[in-house]
Structure 1
């Protein structure tokens, strides 16, 4: 019943589709970065924490994760 009420409202549907698109773009960015790891020797794992960071922040999120990996590890 809750799903029916949520999807009845168009603005919620748009927000969910935008969130889904952001998640797909974030996963693609992390995957592309990991594909280049053969040349750069730099890899960021794709898990919920990294995916969530890149989903919310975008490309600055990728740079944030890269900086964290370089300084902490």
Structure 2
């Protein structure tokens, strides 16, 4: 039980320290805003792809792995996810 609280404490402390370091630097706010925008665009792309799954028969779940891939790689990342899904199924 105490270990659980210790892990949560370390997680919260390290998150606060990361936020302080990012916002202390001059370009930190722009970095966070850019990353946030990329995540929103990637989620929107995956949502639209799932919305059109009746026509395309392509469904990709919106989870951290697919969202991270689409965020970092963009549209080629979504195409990569579709290819991986087709190759595995």
Q: Same fold (TM over 0.5)?
A: yes
Structure 1, unmatched stretches of 5+, are none
Cα RMSD between the aligned structures? Answer: 1.4
In the alignment, which residue of structure 1 is the partner of 2:69?
A: 53
Q: Select the structure with the greater relative contact order (CA < 8 A; seq sep ≥ 6).
A: 1
Distance 1:11 1:45 in 2: 33
State TM-score, norm by structure 2: 0.75
Deviates most, 63-72 or 8-17: 8-17
Structure 2, unmatched stretches of 5+, are 1-15
Deviation per CA, 1:18-73: give whole Å up to 9, x if none.
Answer: 00000000000000000000112210000000000000000000000000001101
Shift of 1:4: 4.1
State TM-score, norm by structure 1: 0.90
Segments of 4+ in structure 1 off by > 2 A?
1-6
Q: Does 1:29 align with 2:45?
A: yes
Shift of 1:5: 4.7
Distance 2:84 2:20 in 1: 41
